[in-house]
Structure formats: C-alpha cells, structure tokens
Amino acid sequence: MDHLPDWGDDWDASPRPAVWARGLTRRFGKYVAVDNLNLSVQPGEFYGLLGQNGAGKTTTIRMIVGLLRPTEGTAGIGEFDTWKQPTEVKARIGVLPEEFNLYERLTGAELLDFTGAMHGLSREETVSRRDELLDMLDLTDAATKLIGDYSRGMRKKIALGAAIIHRPPVLFLDEPFEGVDAVSARIIRNLLREAAAQGTTIIFSSHEMHLVEKLCTRIGIMVGGRLVIEETPEGLCKLTGKDDIEDAFIAAVGGEVDGASWYATS
C-alpha cells in the first residue's frame, strides 16, 4: 500500500526542508535495514515515524542525526548535510535515543550544566535554563542526586532536558514515553506541545498510538525498511477505512492477525 508524495525534480531548490533524507540506505551484511528512504519534514512539523519492531525507524533516525553512517544516500538538517557538515548539524538538533547512556556519577543538575556548556551557553544562561527544566520536569528535588540512583522514568526526563537545553530547532525522540508513569508522560507531552508551538520541528517514534494521534501533524509508516505511507492521522484512517488510529496503523502494516484462536478449545 504505497501512498507517498512526489518529491519532484525541484527538491534541491532552496530552502531545504528542516529534516531530509535522499536514497538513505543501510545494510548490515546482506540484511537491508533501511531501503532507499526519502524523507522531507518541514519546519514546525510534529512528524511521527511509525512501524513495527525491526521496521528501520531507529536506524533511520541514527543515520539522520549522525550516529550511524549510511551505506548509500544522504541526509541532513536544513541546508546542512549530516555527513559533510556534522558540527553544524549537531548544533541544531536535540536527540533522545531509545537507549540512552548517561553519566551516572553526575547529578541531574550537573548533567544539564555540562550539556549547556558543551553547546556554548554562558554559565548564567545554562543555570537559568537548567533550573527551568528541572522545575518543568518535576526533578528539582532530585537535582542533587546521582543519575545512577534515578529510576528509568527520571532518567528519561533528565535525558530529555539535556536534549533540549540549547533549544534546538529540530528534536528527535525515539520512544520518549517508554517506561514512564502517567504523570511523567503528561509532563513530557506538555513540554513537547510547547516546543512544537514555538516552531520546533519534532521527529517522533513511538508505539503509543493514542499519543501519535494527539501529537503528530503528519505520520510516516515504515515496513521492511521502506517508507510506504505518509499521511495525517486523519488521512491514514480514511485511507485504510478505519475509525481508530491503532486499527489504521495495523491495517497499513499488514498486521491483521487474530490471536484469539490460540486459546480456543477444540
């Protein structure tokens, strides 16, 4: 079920999209994880990159942000190519990976201080933003605790704070709500909505379909390493003939399997 826009011949015209990829491919031996992917995300979009486990979502994000070199193709942020101008790209993005490694012997406040300094913020500006983030993320009381003593949900929130302390114009989030409680999930959701309202471009990968429906302005669905559908959440429901976004996603990836019969008695 291919339903993709025509990028046309004028794709290279200025200005380029906020996030883009052309012919992006990644092979691991004979296995093709991402297959000739084209992507164009405009400034201010909240773009959901969806797919089943192993569809190529995380690999795609890692190639765009510069954590994994493509086998073929290229990607970038605005006018900058990730692999030709990595410094410029990294200055303009914030990344919350699915599996994040944090400095466990730092406190939450120290991690934000360190990240702000790495992005060239002044000490005064770093402290101001640090304190605002700790308050918004409900981590003020844990600011002086070692990250090694944080719960998974607290680690997720402090990692998000580190990803956005420099207020990047583009934010990549890989499963940002995994392992967090309902209160923390709402805090993160409200923070992301505010970022989007201020014009931040957000690339968001999640299996939480109700959050995709609430947050995303457009979604792309990957199947077997290929981007096969791009639509609004409402457009996907219309395209698949489903009333519910979860049902629409399952139909789009060909996942209509009835597991109920496994427990049926003969």
Indicate if 111 and 208 belong to the same structural domain.
Answer: no
**Residue 130 and residue 113: Cα distance in Å, rounded?**
7
Count of Cβ atoms closer than 10 Å to residue 5 Cβ:
9
pLDDT category at 9 given cuts 50, 70, 90 is very low
- Give the SS3 label for residue 114: helix
Tens digits of per-residue pLDDT, 55-64? 999 999 999 9
Tens digits of per-residue pLDDT, 145-201? 999 999 988 999 999 999 999 999 999 998 888 878 888 888 888 889 899 999 999
Indicate if 199 and 85 belong to the same structural domain.
Answer: yes
Query: Which residues constitute the domain of residue 80?
Result: 26-92+171-180+191-254
Provide φ and ψ at 6, rounded to 5°.
Answer: -90, 115
Count of Cβ atoms closer than 10 Å to residue 83 Cβ:
14
Q: Is residue 8 part of a domain?
A: no
pTM over 0.75: yes
Q: Which residues contact 266 (CB under 8 A, 6 or more apart)?
A: none
**Residue 188 and residue 204: Cα distance in Å, rounded?**
13
Indicate if 247 and 195 belong to the same structural domain.
Answer: yes
**Looking at the 3D structure of the chain, how many domains does it have?**
2
Residues in the chain: 266
Structure confidence at residue 179 (pLDDT) = 77
Q: Which residues contact 83 (CB under 8 A, 6 or more apart)?
A: 66, 69, 70, 74, 75
Q: Is residue 49 part of a domain?
A: yes
Q: What's the whole-number average pLDDT of the chain?
A: 89
| DSSP secondary structure code for residue 127 in this structure | H
Q: Is residue 260 part of a domain?
A: no
Q: Is residue 244 part of a domain?
A: yes
